[in-house]
């Protein structure tokens, strides 16, 4: 499945160029928008399905008409181009209907995470300075709880118990009275591709999320490139289980469908048992994945018809090498385009060569705005030369990926930042290699080989130092993930009193903790990892702490450490001499000379 031989650089470049071909003509100052693209699809693909959802289909023409009704309804309420309306709703066709309608009149949509509650939800509304709010009936409870801190204009979509107290009327009613024809182009006459389309909150694993600016140009580029890299055509069908309020599911997938004029089979949420039936039923050909979802699918029992489906091409991020190879071989996937980036990134890497484990290649790195600089994990800072500039990594070295901010007419290298000026500035470094230059920190530790294939190592702050060696949590998790049994493997470092650095700890997800084999797990870890990388502690959990975009949270696990009273779940400690993991008790720690955990 994967290419064993190194692909010539010019071939990689040709494959990348195929992706960029769709977006080459776009400029930041161009008087064009996503609303214009929707209106084009309503003409040349009007009767084709755009969204297929829970037994119903919405065509491109129907979506355009519904978006028009939203536009006219909001316009009648007095909203002008540049104003902000927040949107909080589950995955369903009405979600893009709303923000596409708002885009028709130049209104910016703030996409709110449906898991936001209380102070987090209040923070989101304040950070975006939204003067309007549209929410789905399923979110009524959380909106009602904030009745005193809501924007002036509030619309509810659908019925909802208790929701009438915070909404003067429903969006359904306002749309029923509104016109279904395209609003005059003059309503968004001042909108340019570089202007904000919507605000997306980063799904960080720590702290309050930040609202990142997403322009029309960034939206069009995200899906246009993927459509080109996967060679999508009118015969293709996309599958989406990712949140529509986030960049992967809501921007990349929707943009690709709009570019090509093809349907999205949309699910409210991911289901491992329904995945392949959906693929077969709708003849899905392409999927935008998150790596953990592939692991969930691999954990399903093998079936004789595992290869009897139409899915052939995938793009996404976070696919570990062990899962990658087994997934591709078991399910017969022809092309996997693994990438590296983030919601707000001013760069992008994509593996177009099917090279297992790589997140992308820079065939001619000097043409890119990406560099990798040395980073001291122990000190938590970059390595500098005598002149104060950062030091570049050489092949095989681990360092932080940074990307230069470019202020050209296109999207390449441009950094749109956050609604917070302080957060925007904190993400950047200045005077890195020469006076006046600006670079965005990715927060990703990577390495590249002599052929300029890049490999993700860890996040800055996740890699830790133990026994004088740097330990990558991501690389250790990828190896331990091959041990049969646990559904999810989450590796992190914890403080051990009296010791420098942090010791390795792993949280293993088991539905039944009785299925854990402590001796077998130790044999596997000791055989496949360097001694300093073998976790000192093991924690068994019935479920993993994941963000809504399937990222593993570690901060709370680190804070709990290996404190039995605080955790309340089975804990084990490594007994290297005995060659096993023993149940963690005060007596076991004392016998091994390990001090009890002390919270920071």
CATH classification at residue 485: 3.30.300.30
- State both tokens at 243: 């949140």
Domain stop point among 197, 214, 231: 214
| Beta strands per DSSP E along 535-597 | 537-541, 571-575, 580-583
- Tell me the C-alpha to C-alpha distance, in Å, between residue 222 and each of 102, 217, 267, 283: 20, 9, 21, 24
pLDDT tier for residue 38 given thresholds of 50, 70 and 90? very high
Domain stop point among 214, 234, 250: 214
Q: What DSSP state is assigned to residue 186?
A: G
Find the mean pLDDT for residues 54-73: 97
The answer to whether the CB of 336 falls within 8 A of the CB of 291 is no
Q: What 3-state class would DSSP assign to 453?
A: strand
Residue 44 has pLDDT above 90, yes or no: yes
Comparison of pLDDT for 330 and 205, the residue scoring more? 330
Residue-wise pLDDT for 413-452, tens only, equals 999 999 999 999 999 999 999 999 999 999 899 999 999 9
Residue 3 has pLDDT above 50, yes or no: no
Residue 270 within any structural domain of the chain: no
pLDDT of residue 463: 87
Find the mean pLDDT for residues 137-153: 88
Residue 253 has pLDDT above 90, yes or no: yes
Number of domains in the chain: 2
Residue 363 within any structural domain of the chain: no
Residue 277 within any structural domain of the chain: no
Residue 185 within any structural domain of the chain: yes
Residue 289 within any structural domain of the chain: no
Secondary structure of 542-583 as H, E, C letters? CCCCECCCCCECCHHHHHHCCCHHHHCCCEEEEECCCCEEEE
Percent of all residues in the chain with a pLDDT value above 70, rounded to a whole number:
97
User: H-type helices in 195-271, by residue range?
Assistant: 216-229, 254-260
pLDDT of residue 63: 98
pLDDT tier for residue 163 given thresholds of 50, 70 and 90? very low
pLDDT of residue 160: 56
Comparison of pLDDT for 331 and 152, the residue scoring more? 331
Give the CATH number, domain containing residue 88: 3.40.50.980
Find the mean pLDDT for residues 340-364: 94
Residue 207 has pLDDT above 60, yes or no: no
Residue 210 within any structural domain of the chain: yes
Domain stop point among 193, 214, 235: 214
Residue 246 within any structural domain of the chain: no
The answer to whether the CB of 346 falls within 8 A of the CB of 415 is yes
Strand partners, 132: 85, 153
- Tell me the C-alpha to C-alpha distance, in Å, between residue 450 and each of 10, 19, 94, 364, 397: 16, 24, 48, 12, 11
pLDDT of residue 175: 95
> Can you state the percent helix, strand and coil of the chain, rounding each to 5?
35, 25, 45
pLDDT of residue 4: 56
Residue-wise pLDDT for 371-406, tens only, equals 999 999 878 899 999 999 999 999 999 999 999 999
Residue 469 has pLDDT above 90, yes or no: no
The answer to whether the CB of 347 falls within 8 A of the CB of 360 is no
Residue 530 has pLDDT above 70, yes or no: yes
Domain containing residue 67: 33-46+56-214
Mean residue pLDDT of the chain comes to: 92
| pTM for this prediction | 0.85
pLDDT of residue 285: 98
Residue 478 within any structural domain of the chain: yes
DSSP secondary structure, 75-114, as one string? HHTT--TT-EEEEE--SSTHHHHHHHHHHHTTPEEEE--T
The answer to whether the CB of 213 falls within 8 A of the CB of 418 is yes
- State both tokens at 67: 């978006």
Residue 527 has pLDDT above 90, yes or no: yes
pLDDT tier for residue 468 given thresholds of 50, 70 and 90? confident
pLDDT of residue 166: 54
């Amino acid at each position: 499945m994967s290419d064993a031989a190194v692909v010539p650089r010019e071939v990689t470049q040709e494959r990348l160029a195929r992706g960029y071909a769709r977006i080459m003509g776009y400029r930041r100052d161009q008087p064009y928008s996503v609303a214009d693209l929707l209106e084009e699809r309503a003409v040349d693909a009007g009767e084709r399905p755009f969204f297929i959802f829970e037994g119903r289909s919405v065509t491109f023409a129907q979506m355009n008409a519904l978006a028009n009704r939203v536009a006219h309804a909001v316009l009648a309420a007095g909203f002008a181009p540049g104003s902000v309306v927040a949107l909080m709703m589950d995955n369903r066709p009405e979600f893009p209907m709303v923000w596409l309608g708002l885009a028709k009149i130049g209104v910016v949509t703030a996409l709110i995470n449906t898991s936001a509650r209380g102070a987090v939800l209040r923070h989101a509304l304040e950070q975006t300075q939204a003067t309007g709010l549209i929410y789905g009936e399923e979110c009524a409870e959380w909106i009602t709880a904030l009745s005193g801190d809501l924007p002036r204009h509030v619309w509810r979509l659908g019925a909802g118990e208790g929701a009438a107290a915070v909404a003067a009327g429903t969006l359904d009613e306002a749309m029923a009275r509104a016109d279904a024809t395209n609003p005059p182009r003059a309503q968004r006459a001042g909108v340019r591709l570089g202007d904000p389309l919507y605000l997306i909150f980063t799904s960080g694993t720590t702290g309050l999320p930040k609202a990142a600016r997403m322009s029309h140009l960034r939206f069009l580029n995200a899906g246009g490139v993927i459509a080109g890299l996967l060679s999508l055509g009118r015969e293709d069908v996309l599958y989406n289980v990712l949140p529509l309020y986030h960049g992967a599911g809501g921007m990349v997938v929707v943009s690709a469908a709009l570019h090509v004029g093809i349907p999205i089979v949309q699910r409210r949420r991911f289901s491992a048992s329904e995945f392949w039936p959906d693929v077969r039923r709708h003849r899905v050909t392409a999927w935008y994945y998150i790596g953990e979802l592939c692991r969930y699918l691999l954990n399903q029992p093998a079936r004789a018809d595992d290869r009897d489906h139409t899915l052939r091409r995938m793009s996404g991020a976070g696919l570990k090498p062990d899962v990658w190879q087994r997934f591709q071989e078991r399910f017969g996937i022809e092309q996997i385009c693994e990438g590296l980036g983030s919601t707000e990134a001013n760069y992008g890497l994509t593996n177009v060569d099917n090279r297992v484990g790589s997140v992308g290649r820079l065939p001619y790195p000097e043409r890119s705005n990406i560099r990798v600089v040395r980073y001291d994990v122990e000190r938590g800072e970059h390595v500098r030369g005598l002149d104060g500039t950062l030091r570049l990594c050489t092949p095989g070295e681990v360092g932080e990926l940074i990307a230069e901010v470019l202020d050209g007419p296109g999207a390449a290298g441009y950094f749109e930042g956050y609604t917070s000026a302080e957060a925007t500035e904190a993400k950047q470094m200045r005077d890195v290699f020469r006076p006046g230059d600006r670079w965005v920190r990715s927060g990703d530790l990577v390495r590249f080989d002599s052929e300029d294939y890049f490999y993700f190592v860890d996040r800055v702050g996740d890699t830790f130092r133990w026994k004088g060696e740097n330990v990558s949590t991501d690389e250790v998790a990828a190896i331990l993930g091959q041990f049969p049994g646990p559904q999810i493997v989450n590796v992190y470092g914890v403080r051990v009193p009296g010791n420098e650095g942090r010791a390795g700890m792993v949280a293993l997800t088991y539905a039944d903790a009785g299925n854990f084999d402590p001796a077998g797990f130790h044999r596997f870890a000791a055989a496949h990892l360097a001694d300093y990388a073998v976790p000192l502690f093991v924690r068994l959990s019935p479920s993993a702490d994941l963000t809504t975009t399937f990222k593993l949270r570690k901060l709370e696990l680190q804070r709990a450490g290996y404190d039995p009273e605080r955790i309340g779940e089975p804990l084990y400690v490594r007994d290297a001499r005995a060659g096993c993991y023993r149940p963690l008790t005060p007596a076991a720690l004392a016998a091994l000379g390990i001090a009890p955990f002390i919270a920071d």
